[in-house]
Amino acid sequence: MNLNSIRQSICCSMIVGLMLLGVTTHAQVDSKTELVDFDTQMIPLLTKLGCNSGACHGSAAGRGGFRLSLYGSKPAADYEAIARQYKGRRINLNDAEKSLILRKPGGELDHGGQQIFELDDPAGQLIAKWIEQGAKRSGNQRIVKLDVGQASVIVNDLSKPVQLSAYATFHDGRRVNVTRWTRFEANDRAAIKINEVTGQAKILRRGRLMVIARFVSHVVPIEFIVPLDRDPVNLSKAPQHNFIDRFVYRKLRLLRLDPTELTGDDEFLRRVSLDLTGRLPTLEQIKAFRNNRSKNKRTEIIDQLMASEAYVDYWSYRLARQLRIRSLPGDKTGVKIYYQWLRQQLEKKIGWDKIAYQLVTARGDSHRVGSANFYRTTANPKLQSEFLTESLLGVRLRCANCHDHPLDRWTQDDYHGLAAILATTSQGRAVVDKPNAKIIHPVTGRPAIQRIPGQTKLNVDPSGGGRDALAQWIVHRENPYFAKAMVNRIWASFMGRGLIDPVDDLRATNPPTHPKLLERLTQEFVEHDFDLRFLMQLICNSAAYQRKTGNAKTLPAAKMFYAVASVRTLPTEVVADAIDDVTGVPQKYQSWPAGVRAVQVFDPNTPAVSLDILGRCSPGASCESSDGSDSGGLAKQLHLLNGELINQKLAHRQNRLRQAIKANRSTTQIVKEFYLRSLGRAPKERELKFWRSKLDHPKSKTDSQFRQKLLSDFVWSLLTCREFLTNH
Amino acid sequence: MNQVNRRCDGVVRREVLRLGGLSAFGLGLGSFFRLQNVAHANLLRRTAAAKPKSCILIWLDGGPSHLETFDPKPDAPVEVRGPLRTIPTALTGVRIGECLPQTAKRMKDIAVVRSMTSTLGEHNFGTHYLLTGFKPTPVLEYPSFHSVGASVYDHVSTLPANIAVPHSRVGGGKFSGNGFLATKHKPFSIGADPSKGNFKVRDLDLYRGITLDSVKRRREFVNALDQFSNLDGGNGDAAFDQAFRLVTSKEAKAAFSIEREKSSLRKKYGLRTVGQCCLLARRLVERGVPFVTVNVGGWDTHENLKTRLKEGYTGAKNPVGLVPSLDLAFSALIDDLKERGLFDNTLVVVMGEFGRTPKLNTAGGRDHWPRVFSVALAGGGVAGGQIVGASDALGERPKDRPVTPSDLVATIYKLLGIDPALELTTPDGRPVRVTPHESKIVKELIA
């Protein structure tokens, strides 16, 4: 929508609003004598009209020389800007209607944001009344809570609009309907149309939709579940392996989504091997699994895989990326010690809480104490705060560096308070306490006060106890983020999407698709001493994990609610290893012994052109929010087609294909073997037919060179097709 | 999540830039781009609307000395003046460094800003500032102007829209170019030096022993496999198709065949990296590539300034250092573009991340100096034949008309027909202008 049509819709809705006299709300001008309160009436109005949004005067630099705090998080500063700045030129106490803050948005004077309201609109009238009353700010009205009635709404009949409502609870306990001045924002504006005046929502699309209600600095999400337009589904016969399935089916029933059936053994084995060990199943493993007649064979293989060395390798790699482990300029020792420490934790089955506690409280020489390298991840305490909250708590604190977080509870005090704690630790080779180090709070210009995010100020002796208190808070069973963030991350890596998505963005306004499931999983994880293997086996054993994947026609909602299994791009290193395994030609990584696999190359700074072109996560970056499918782009495709990565292995004299040809295997045998090695399954009849027609070329009977070429092209296509490059 | 539904300016965002909110409702950016790509792949030619301009950026990585190039101080004391002389130019009263004789003759086509000023004297930071118009912040990596341009232009062609020669490593290699934009807007690095005898774009030529028949077969086979598996989200990969088209298109590959240029012309550009890269850039622009970055390293001249900038090696009879090489390349590029009628539609920008200290250091070099430096522009609607602004007598700070990197980038956008107030949306939903609010277009530069 362009600005003009937005403008029109605002105007229209304003006119509608004037006609709807039945709605009486808090901020409406319904009494001549009642004082207009700046903090709880004027600010919501500015927010509702979008004046203090990031695109307008709420941007860090303001607009047109007029700056407001983002979404009104700092009423005192806003009052200063409106009523006092430039000697109060924005306010005309003698003639309210002549005030700039009315004439500009009212369309009388040139306004960058064009006309926002008519002067006789409720908005204009409210502002005028506030000015007539002396443009004062009492500062004694506070809103302690915003609620929206029902936080999750099921909508069956799309023809009827849904009434949104919002209630503010004041410091004195008053609960007032503030629907008229609450700003409702739909995540997908093409799916929900909201009448700004009446708060009526018209739903245009089915699925799960979110609306954020914003009043003053309070934000509350409202979830709409709009079932698909079809008959209710019968899930009584759907397989239930553990509690996960109960929660998943509950949502599927609501949405009327049919789950796919469980996937076959071959596909399950490939899926679970890649997820638990980052490796394709070997021919022997496939055979053994096919021949296993046990009823519990899936559970058994999950346990077997988790007990393997390959599991430790792969999950060390995954966690190392989460913790952004890498070598530093001129220091290749720290990364080694750090990785070895981490690998040991996994080997010894140490709980995630104990791992995190060791990281946060680490002290000592980072060339001897692996965990101390945690403090060498970033260059300064502020960056370390952002990194720590993202990697351990799944929380994005960084917005709060410059302004209070617009969608979350985090304030600048939280950000700089945490940085103040971390500032008391040196980030050089020796990680030691330096109790007197300070960080300057950008608002006060004075040293920030140590504080755990969201908690009150730390009451610790200034000799460096802050970090220990922080660590205790982080790994505490009741911490609302720590366990949940890891559960959500692990879930996402097996299921393709976090229950909260993206996984490093936990906040009240980004609610989970399955809140109760996440709660239960978190509770189980905590009760089992934050055991990662326990959590993984829960997920892998569920029917939700073991389902068939969808196809091109699958609805987005079916993926989001686990009616189908997801198709996931494999990590770059796993692809590189898989290519080695299929061709039988291992890649040698610079200065690493031959036979070391890409996932074992723990330093992502190790030069490897192929991995770079394929789009490995760049050292020190957080790679969680991208799905990797875009990385590489043209250069990657060119490399697959013409580069060394695959071609050199296909040209290798000792590769598996050449061996098979030498052993006089038939085309059918070769096709079958390479299908099994790369895709972990047998070719279907029509596939075999296709390959026979293409590969058993008359010329290949007489020309063995030509046959080898054809077969090489076949293997190349196996190594670059989507079925190979994804887990599914 | 996109929080903004009411906007302060009248800019209509292009659909393709409206990325912000997508991941919030389940469609990851990856799949979004695949959709976009599918849509684009169906178009075979570039949108025929007003022909967008091209831009060749000659990036002097490391920070070129303004005193030895476009802003010499012949009257300053010797420790400022430096070891090199100055020469007159086609503009009366304007002198430039002695190593730029060909450029001097063409000054009527060139505009030089001598009052560039920045506060960032570190390579990464300076690079980010000059290429994006924004000072770097840990919160957001901004996209360079060529990535923004590539994302704004409706470029659909076998050749990529944003190409870096010989590679795209600038500012110490941390700078990716696409910033918060999708990876596909990152410059495509050709990964090879066209001045070398064995020049080949990385992975563009068929692997040894692989024939074109094989390539066609591979495409057929992989398409068959993708159809057999019919996996969700597997409906075609535009990058894959582009790779095939590029590899199998003689025409597109020919764009990189610098050996087809007459040897007299190749010599005119100079046989060093910068010269051959500029020639390659012209070939690409001629074939419709809108953005080419020519990356020239080595300008971080902390020592032996005279050798590195002028001579090239100690005791050289004919100077072949950085500046003479640039001189040949830049002047030949201007002539060549003019001869082919491309000059008015191709903006050429010559710059680095900062200038060098006015006082020579004890190693006979100059250190980082962002406070004042020079940038040269030509073609593409630039009002040539003028010097904008001036530095003070010692080349220490702007004397008048200070121009910030933000101003420069805004002016480049303006010249390329892109509104400097255009807003993009970051993946987390923040509206971000392509230039900072405070940036001002340098009006004199626009013809």
Residue pLDDT, tens place only, A411-456: 888 899 999 999 999 999 999 998 888 899 988 889 998 988 887 6
Q: How far is B241 from chain A (nearest CA, A)?
A: 9
Task: Give the residue carrying structure tokens 């690079």.
Answer: B127
Question: What are residue B355's DSSP bridge partners?
Answer: B369
- A contact residues 500-539, partner B, Cβ 8 Å cutoff: 501-502, 509-510
Which stretches does DSSP call E strand in A534-611? 568-569
Q: How far is B112 from chain A (nearest CA, A)?
A: 31
Is A69 touching B (CB cutoff 8 A)?
no
Question: What are residue B350's DSSP bridge partners?
Answer: B58, B376
**Which among A713, A715, A724 is the top mutation candidate for probing chain B, defined by the most B β-carbons within 10 Å of its own β-carbon?**
A713
Confidence of residue A553 (pLDDT cuts 50, 70, 90): confident
A 10 A CB-CB count for A256 gives 16
How far, rounded to the nearest angstrom, does the alpha carbon of residue B315 sit from its chain's CA centroid?
33
Q: Helix (H, G, I), strand (E, B), or coil: what is residue B305? A: helix
User: Could you report the predicted ipTM of this complex, rounded to two decimals?
Assistant: 0.84
Is B78 touching A (CB cutoff 8 A)?
no
Q: What pLDDT digit, counting tens, does each position of A453-487 carry?
A: 887 666 666 566 789 999 999 999 999 999 999 99
Is B385 touching A (CB cutoff 8 A)?
no
Q: How far is A529 from chain B (nearest CA, A)?
A: 32
The full DSSP string for B326-338 is: HHHHHHHHHHHHH
Q: Which pLDDT score, from 0 to 100, does residue B263 have?
A: 96
- More confident of the two residues A377 and A464: A377
Phi and psi (nearest 5°) for A220?
A: -135, 135
- B contact residues 183-202, partner A, Cβ 8 Å cutoff: 183-184, 186, 188-189, 191, 202
Length of chain A: 728
Considering only CB atoms, A633 lies closest to which of B208, B239, B428, namely B239
Domains of chain A, start order: 31-132 (no CATH), 143-226 (2.60.40.1080), 318-475 (no CATH), 653-728 (no CATH)
- B contact residues 104-143, partner A, Cβ 8 Å cutoff: 138-139
Confidence of residue A33 (pLDDT cuts 50, 70, 90): low
Q: Helix (H, G, I), strand (E, B), or coil: what is residue A70? A: helix
% of chain A exceeding 90 in pLDDT: 56
Q: Which of B64, B167, B172 is nearest to B122 (CA)?
A: B172
Pairing state between β B423-425 and B431-433: antiparallel
Residue B7 has pLDDT above 60, yes or no: no
Considering only CB atoms, B8 lies closest to which of A112, A497, A630, namely A112
Q: What pLDDT digit, counting tens, does each position of A175-193 carry?
A: 999 998 898 988 777 788 9
Q: What pLDDT digit, counting tens, does each position of A638-691 carry?
A: 999 999 999 999 999 999 999 999 999 999 999 999 999 999 999 999 999 999
Extract the tokens encoding B59.
Answer: 């990036």
Question: What are residue B189's DSSP bridge partners?
Answer: B164
How far, rounded to the nearest angstrom, does the alpha carbon of residue A4 sit from its chain's CA centroid?
34
Question: What are residue A183's DSSP bridge partners?
Answer: A214
Contact criterion met (CB below 8 Å) for B340 and B283: no
- A contact residues 445-464, partner B, Cβ 8 Å cutoff: none
Domains in chain B: boundaries:
15-204+256-299+338-351+378-445
% of chain B exceeding 70 in pLDDT: 85
Contact call for B239 and A401, based on CB within 8 A: no
- Distance in angstroms (rounded) separating the CA atoms of residues A116 and B3: 18
Task: Give the residue carrying structure tokens 């890891």.
Answer: A486
Among chain B residues, CA nearest to A397: B139
Global pTM? 0.80
Phi and psi (nearest 5°) for B77?
A: -55, 155
Residues of B in contact with A713 (CB under 8 A): 214, 217-218, 221
